[in-house]
Amino acid sequence: MDGAIHAEDTWTVAGRSFRSRLIVGTGKYKDLEETAAAIEASGAEIVTVAVRRVNLSDPKAPMLQDFVDPKKYTYLPNTAGCHTAQDAVRTLRLAREAGGWNLVKLEVLGPPPTLYPDMVHTLQAAEALIKDGFEVMVYCADDPVAAKRLEELGCVAIMPLGAPIGSGLGIQNPAMISMMIEQAKVPLLVDAGVGTASDAAIAMELGCDAVLLNSAIAMAKDPIRMARAMKHAVEAGRLAYLAGRMPRRMGADPSSPLTGLIRR
Amino acid sequence: MQTSLTVSINGERRDLTGPLSVAALLDTLGLDMRKVAVERNMEIVPRSTYAATLLADGDELEIVHFIGGG
């Protein structure tokens, strides 16, 4: 099947290689059963997770690890809810102890309604985390100057937004994403903004190494089916990128030869 | 010798009886130590030291785990 055709088309982040170019979040699902089924259907090998206080009044409540096996999936702990470098470092140190690994997703957000990446605090937090031994995949603005600085600091992946988190507005900035891909020396992923399968395909056609999404699957009417759609969209977009699209032209060019037509 | 300990766990005040290790506390709380991480007074408590780490009066603890997130 098509999986075999590009079985060797892997991408590598922080020395780890992955076949799937789709990273999925584990938030916003109806329950943990649905989370597990959607992730399975997506084919993702990396999943983002949040770090939160345990509920002391219900210690036997089912936990994410019981449904999404950390031995099978690479957990990518995030810093959602952290507003300073100190918060981010503190949260991810706990994540490292809980999970025993150092590959993390840094996100420091500004206020609603945009939740736009706060690049001043993101840069500070990235520096602190890298100093502390973390390998940082960083959510960022579609800002090539800030992205360059993050890369120079030692971030292992640059992850600009295609549109605000959870908006599902699609890739609003294809030109800037393309320029950032051109300049990046580490993997570049679109993180946030994907609303449906074609958006994920567009991100991959631009030349992204992978796509990170959550709401587009979790908030779909049928999340499991959308997870499958995303899997195929990312594969299709990647294949189209590798194949190289035809040039755009103004005006038609017939697909059938004009010679040899029958005449009366 | 038994002592009384007042600690804060995830922002909630708890009155406990010492000596009490982090491992014993997690057991008392009914938490699986393989699935949580513990911070004590802003410092990570490595899992390998849970049994040997004794709580002190006034300790502030955070006990976290992974949940769904994007």
* Å between B45 CA and nearest CA of chain A: 8
- Identify the residue among A94, A161, A211, A214 best suited for mutation to test binding to B, counting B beta carbons within 10 A and taking the highest: A94
Q: Please give the ipTM for the structure prediction.
A: 0.92
Share of chain B above pLDDT 70, in %: 100
pTM: 0.90
Q: Which of B11, B38, B67 sits opposite A49 (nearest CB)?
A: B67
Distance CA A35, CA A75 (A): 14
Give per-residue pLDDT as tens, B2-26: 889 999 999 999 999 989 999 999 9
Distance CA A237, CA B8 (A): 51
β-pairing, A157-160 vs A135-140, is parallel
Give per-residue pLDDT as tens, A1-35: 454 555 589 999 999 999 999 999 999 999 999 99
Q: What is the mean pLDDT of residues A56-69?
A: 90
Q: Give the length of chain B.
A: 70
Residue spans of alpha helices (H) in A100-222: 119-131, 144-153, 174-183, 197-206, 215-218
Helix (H, G, I), strand (E, B) or coil at B34: helix
Question: Which among A84, A102, A85 has a CA at the least distance from the CA of A93?
Answer: A102
Catalytic, out of A30, A105, A185, A231: A105
Give per-residue pLDDT as tens, B35-45: 899 999 999 99
For A33, the closest chain B residue by CA position comes to B68
Give per-residue pLDDT as tens, A87-98: 999 999 999 999
- C-alpha of A246 from chain center: 27
Interchain contact, A50 vs B66, CB within 8 Å: yes
Distance CA A147, CA A100 (A): 28
C-alpha distances out from residue A193 to A95, A161, B6, Å: 26, 6, 46
Give per-residue pLDDT as tens, A182-214: 999 999 999 999 999 999 999 999 999 999 999
A124 has a pLDDT exceeding 50 = yes
Interchain contact, A53 vs B44, CB within 8 Å: no
Distance CA A45, CA A54 (A): 25
Distance CA A190, CA A175 (A): 13
Q: Which of A75, A93, A165 sits opposite B66 (nearest CB)?
A: A75
Interchain contact, A97 vs B68, CB within 8 Å: no
Interchain contact, A98 vs B46, CB within 8 Å: no
pLDDT score at A264: 74
A221 has catalytic annotation: no
Q: Which of A52, A94, A166 sits opposite B67 (nearest CB)?
A: A52
Give per-residue pLDDT as tens, A207-264: 999 999 999 999 999 999 999 999 999 999 999 999 999 999 999 998 999 889 888 7
